[in-house]
């Protein structure tokens, strides 16, 4: 018998209250219920990192959390990174400039992960960035352009 719960979550600043089946992952909930399809589900078992979102500001895998567990919390997805007027987050800007994406499948997870990471580690070196994205798989870029973008964004965010 389906098991439902009523939950309240704030996604990118907007409050949503609805009934969810308790087995629904946060990732499926964001894509199918809230219709924010920027969050990508690759492996659905924690390995690829594409589904990463921010839970109260911390990077977590949305395929490894139930939507019901987000009750009372704030979620930021890739759609929530840019400003309301559409101006890009410094990381998005840097990804664009350095060709940090090709097919774009891994990009939402890269951007959310790096947003959280740079928030806590404003002065990373190349090795730090490679370690930070070791849990995000990219099949296209070979990572170099992503690392370049992250280092450049970190600089901009430090005001250099």
Partner 1 sequence: MKPAAFTYHDPKTSNEVIELLSQHEDAKILAGGQSLIPMLNMRFVVPDHVIDINGVKDLDSVFDNGESLEIGAMTRQSNLSKSHDVKTKTPIFLEALGNVGHFQTRNRGTLGGSLCHLDPAAEIPCLMAAYDAVMIAQGSNGLREIPFSEWPLAYMMPSLEPDELLIKVRVPYWRSHHGYSFVEFARRHGDFAIIAVAVLIEMDGKTISRASISVGGADIRPIRLFEAEEGLIGENLDVRVFKSAAEIARKVDAMSDAYVTSSYRQRLAATLVERALVQAAERVSRGENNA
Ligand X SMILES: Cc1cc2nc3c(=O)[nH]c(=O)nc-3n(C[C@@H](O)[C@H](O)[C@H](O)COP(=O)(O)OP(=O)(O)OC[C@H]3O[C@@H](n4cnc5c(N)ncnc54)[C@H](O)[C@@H]3O)c2cc1C
Point out which residues bind partner 1 (CB under 8 A).
1-3, 5, 21-25, 28, 44-46, 49, 52, 55, 58-61, 63-66, 68-69, 113, 116-117, 130-132, 134-135
Phi, psi torsion values for 76, nearest 5 degrees: -120, 125
**How would you list the strands of the sheet with 14-21, edge to edge?**
14-21, 4-11, 74-76, 52-55, 58-61
Q: Which is nearer to ligand FES, 18 or 64 (CB)?
A: 64
Q: Is 47 in the site for ligand X (CB under 6 A)?
A: yes
Q: Is 48 in the site for ligand FES (CB under 6 A)?
A: yes
Instruction: Give the other-Cβ count within 10 Å of 71's Cβ.
Output: 14
Among 53, 116, 138, 149, binds ligand FES (CB under 6 A): 138
Return the residues of window 139-158 that contact ligand FES according to CB under 6 A. 139-141
Q: Is 23 in the site for ligand X (CB under 6 A)?
A: no
- Residue in 120, 119, 100 with CA at minimum distance from that of residue 110: 100
Q: Identify the three-state secondary structure at position 50.
A: coil
End-to-end CA distance of the chain: 57
Q: Report the nearest approach of ligand FES to the CB of residue 3 (Å).
A: 23
Among 6, 8, 23, 47, binds ligand FES (CB under 6 A): 47
Q: Which is nearer to partner 1, 127 or 159 (CB)?
A: 127
Overall size of the chain counted in residues: 160
Q: State the Cα–Cα distance between residues 160 and 146, nearest whole angstrom.
A: 19
Applying CB under 6 A, which residues contact ligand FES? 41-44, 46-51, 61, 63, 101-106, 138-141
């Amino acid at each position: 018998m389906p098991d439902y719960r009523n939950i309240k979550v704030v996604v990118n600043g907007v409050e949503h209250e609805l009934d969810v089946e308790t087995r629904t992952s946060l990732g499926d909930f964001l894509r199918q219920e809230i219709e924010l399809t920027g969050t990508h589900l690759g492996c659905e078992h924690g390995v690829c990192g594409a589904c990463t979102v921010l839970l109260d500001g911390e990077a977590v895998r949305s395929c490894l959390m139930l939507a019901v567990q987000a009750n009372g919390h704030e979620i930021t997805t890739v759609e929530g990174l840019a400003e309301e007027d559409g101006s890009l987050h410094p990381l998005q800007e840097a990804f664009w400039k350095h060709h940090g994406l090709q097919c774009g499948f891994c990009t939402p997870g890269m951007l959310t992960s790096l947003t959280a990471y740079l928030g806590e580690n404003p002065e990373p070196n190349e090795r730090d960035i490679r370690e930070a994205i070791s849990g995000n798989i990219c099949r296209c870029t070979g990572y170099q352009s992503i690392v370049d973008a992250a280092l450049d964004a970190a600089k901009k965010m430090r005001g250099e």
